[in-house]
Chain A
Amino acid sequence: MTVSATQPGATERWRRGLIQGMPLGPAVVLLGVFLAGPILYCLYAAFTDMALTGGTGAHFVGLDNFRKAFESPEFRQSLVYTLVFTLLSAIIGQNVLGMVLALLMRSSTAWIRATVSAIVIGAWVMPEVVAGYLWTAFLGDDGSLNHLLGMVHLPPQDWLFSVPILAVSLANIWRGTAFSMLVYSAALSEVPKEIEESATVDGAGTVQRLWSVTLPMIRRSITTNLMLITLQTLSVFGLIWTMTRGGPSNHSTTLPLFAYQQAFQLSQLGYGTALALVLLAIGAVFSLVYLRALRLEDGR
């Protein structure tokens, strides 16, 4: 949607571009100072032995921080937990449950639909820290879940202790599903009813119709949603911190928590920022995969 004028000269075009781009100013300054600046600083600090205490100054140590990380079992463990947490709670949990809810809601009774979406959105609107405490209580030794299990004669257990990564994943599904549900509800509402109905008339079963008609029509929304929730989940900190603080014995320590522990609690700024860089890289890899999928769509 270019607003083209009559063939302006080079300086004129440059001047006009500047005026047109001016509204970007405040955002660019904020992003530059508070986001890009710290990231560049990160890039520098990750290659030094900078520490919060000591005051000996920072020395360039090359790739030592990264070598140290990849040789450390704790780091590798936190890497695995990060991927498990993202896969379980975002890519499978929030994504599938959000889709299922959105699909079911299309053919449900109006008041049930309204009530269910109010409840699911209610969970989403809860602040992260509150969600953490609610789930700590729910999964606790004497919590509601164990009472429910007791009713059906299943052995109770301390979920936060025995399977902490599953516990925080469940909490994250609870908290984040509404986002996917809203995205998919909106996307599904734009699928023309006629197309689905003609598929039904042609003899397609519900599952077949869903798989080969409905889902392909909203695939762009699916890809974009997957990217957003993956990135959101990779950076979850408060929820896990309030529920387990990464414990017991680091069994729910995802990368953000591990980096925080190293940088702030153990005062190893250089090492901590190197870990943070790894986290940024993982986010970048996921993004590239999804963007590639979107671009392939564009090329069709």
Chain B
Amino acid sequence: MSLSLSTRDPRRIRDKVAVNIALVLVAAGFVIPLVWLLLAAFDAKAGVAVSWPHPWTFDNFDAILTMDTTYRPMLNGVILCGGGTLVTVLASVLAAYPLSRYQFRAKRPFLLTILFATGLPITAIMVPVYGLFVQVNLIDTFTGTILFMATTALPISIWLTKNFMDGVPIELEQAAWTDGASTMQGLRSVVLPLMWPGLAVVTIYTFIGLWGNFFVPFVLLASNDRLPASVSIYTFFGQYGQIVYGQLAAYSLLYSLPAVLLYLVLSRRLGGAFSFGGAVKG
């Protein structure tokens, strides 16, 4: 590091202060909507502007913590998104393996199709999917919705998994094969343990994506007692002429919590490893 300039250089210090100020300003812009959410949730008389609750109260939470408003939609969300994530991750790991390890003629077109499908506007295919689900009696079922949600998450998930798997050197597997392991054993006992930070990224990304998805369950599920949290927040609005902002904020807070917590847990365990760097290099 003989080339590095002294950090005590006054120009350096001035630059650093300027950089920090710029960052704080941007962050201030980002944080205001979040602050509103936090404050309004504890303010029984919350409006749309940020204001300090007086008094702080749990009234909003008391009002919404009922079976119909909160508990059942949350549970439905966990079933739908948990199931969807499981299917997605399993199918992606399996699919990523040949894509990462073998050369075959259809590989490049397949990968390009996958990449294009990541951006596929799901709205565009909801109409035919609705028709298909009615035909085969999957409409308003968890199974059908889980499978479809898993499929919507599959392209990006395969893409990311494949790129993470590329980072695991094939030599390690070849050693396992020499020891008599089959391909799938090699995948399970050599590749997966080495790419678990990548897998965690895929899992969390998938779950957060599905947890936030409201359009798919909104179209595919009909019964009130099957709707997940993402949709019932929407019906929440329709039911009341006058919007009770405090309750909406409290509900939004609870609904956002699983995604936030899951992100925190994983990002802490991963340390700095939460990076799309390897995944988005193309």
Report A's interface with B, CB cutoff 8 A.
1-3, 17, 20-21, 23-28, 30-31, 33-35, 37-39, 41-42, 45, 97, 100-101, 104-105, 107-109, 112-113, 115-116, 119-123, 125-131, 133-138, 140-144, 146-147, 174, 177, 179, 182-183, 185-187, 189-190, 193-194, 197-198, 200-201, 220-221, 223-225, 227-228, 230-232, 234-235, 237-238, 241-242, 255-256, 259-260, 263-264, 269, 272-273, 276-277, 279-280, 283-284, 287, 291, 294
Q: Judging by beta carbons under 8 Å apart, are B36 and A144 in contact? A: yes
Question: Which of the residues A100, A186, A227, A234 comes within 8 Å of B121, measured between beta carbons?
Answer: A234
Given contacts A27-B92, A107-B19, contact A115 B27 (CB under 8 A): yes
Classify the secondary structure of A's interface with B. Answer: helix
Question: Which of the residues B3, B23, B154, B155 comes within 8 Å of A105, measured between beta carbons?
Answer: B23
The residues of B that contact A231 with a CB separation of less than 8 Å are 116, 118-120
Q: Judging by beta carbons under 8 Å apart, are B97 and A23 in contact? A: yes
Question: Which of the residues B50, B219, B276 comes within 8 Å of A183, measured between beta carbons?
Answer: B276
The residues of B that contact A33 with a CB separation of less than 8 Å are 151
Complex Cα distance A234/B151, Å?
A: 19
Complex Cα distance A250/B24, Å?
A: 36
Interface flag for B244 (CB, 8 Å) = no
Which residues 150-169 of B sit at the A interface, judged by CB distance below 8 A? Answer: 150-152, 154-155, 158
The residues of A that contact B256 with a CB separation of less than 8 Å are 125-127, 130
The residues of B that contact A144 with a CB separation of less than 8 Å are 32-33, 36, 48-50
Q: Judging by beta carbons under 8 Å apart, are B275 and A119 in contact? A: no
Q: Judging by beta carbons under 8 Å apart, are A256 and B23 in contact? A: no
Measured CB to CB, the closest approach of chain B to A59, in angstroms, equals 17
Which residues 233-248 of B sit at the A interface, judged by CB distance below 8 A? Answer: 233-234, 245, 248
Segment touching A, from B52-60, B61-69, B125-133, B192-200: B125-133
Q: Judging by beta carbons under 8 Å apart, are A3 and B101 in contact? A: yes
Closest to A288 in B: B116
Complex Cα distance A175/B230, Å?
A: 17
The residues of B that contact A125 with a CB separation of less than 8 Å are 208, 256, 259-260, 263
Complex Cα distance A100/B92, Å?
A: 33
Complex Cα distance A186/B276, Å?
A: 7
Interface flag for B74 (CB, 8 Å) = no
Complex Cα distance A196/B103, Å?
A: 37
The residues of B that contact A25 with a CB separation of less than 8 Å are 94
Q: Judging by beta carbons under 8 Å apart, are B94 and A280 in contact? A: no
The residues of A that contact B103 with a CB separation of less than 8 Å are 1-2
Measured CB to CB, the closest approach of chain B to A288, in angstroms, equals 9
A-B contact pairs, 13 of them (CB 8 A): A20-B102, A42-B127, A104-B19, A108-B19, A109-B20, A113-B23, A122-B30, A131-B33, A142-B49, A147-B50, A174-B33, A197-B5, A200-B5
Closest to B184 in A: A23
Given contacts A42-B128, A125-B259, A235-B119, contact A138 B33 (CB under 8 A): yes
Given contacts A228-B118, A234-B121, contact A130 B26 (CB under 8 A): no
Complex Cα distance A287/B117, Å?
A: 10
The residues of A that contact B120 with a CB separation of less than 8 Å are 35, 231, 235, 280, 283
Question: Which of the residues A23, A120, A276 comes within 8 Å of B127, measured between beta carbons?
Answer: A276
Complex Cα distance A237/B165, Å?
A: 32
The residues of B that contact A20 with a CB separation of less than 8 Å are 98, 102, 104
B23, B26, B131, B278: residue with the most chain A Cβ atoms closer than 10 Å: B23
Which residues 1-23 of B sit at the A interface, judged by CB distance below 8 A? Answer: 3-5, 15-16, 19-20, 22-23
Measured CB to CB, the closest approach of chain A to B197, in angstroms, equals 13
Interface flag for B211 (CB, 8 Å) = yes
Closest to A109 in B: B20
Q: Judging by beta carbons under 8 Å apart, are B282 and A263 in contact? A: no
Q: Judging by beta carbons under 8 Å apart, are B127 and A189 in contact? A: no
Question: Which of the residues B16, B49, B124, B255 comes within 8 Å of A108, measured between beta carbons?
Answer: B16
Q: Judging by beta carbons under 8 Å apart, are A134 and B33 in contact? A: yes
Q: Judging by beta carbons under 8 Å apart, are A109 and B127 in contact? A: no
Q: Judging by beta carbons under 8 Å apart, are B124 and A277 in contact? A: yes
The residues of B that contact A185 with a CB separation of less than 8 Å are 275, 277
Q: Judging by beta carbons under 8 Å apart, are A127 and B212 in contact? A: yes
Given contacts A26-B90, A37-B132, 20 further A-B pairs with CB under 8 A are A2-B102, A3-B101, A21-B102, A27-B154, A35-B151, A38-B125, A100-B26, A112-B20, A126-B212, A129-B214, A130-B212, A133-B248, A134-B34, A138-B32, A146-B49, A186-B278, A228-B118, A264-B127, A276-B127, A283-B116
Complex Cα distance A3/B57, Å?
A: 65
Measured CB to CB, the closest approach of chain A to B46, in angstroms, equals 9
The residues of B that contact A34 with a CB separation of less than 8 Å are 129, 147-148, 151-152
Q: Judging by beta carbons under 8 Å apart, are A112 and B214 in contact? A: no
Q: Judging by beta carbons under 8 Å apart, are A294 and B91 in contact? A: no
Complex Cα distance A134/B32, Å?
A: 9
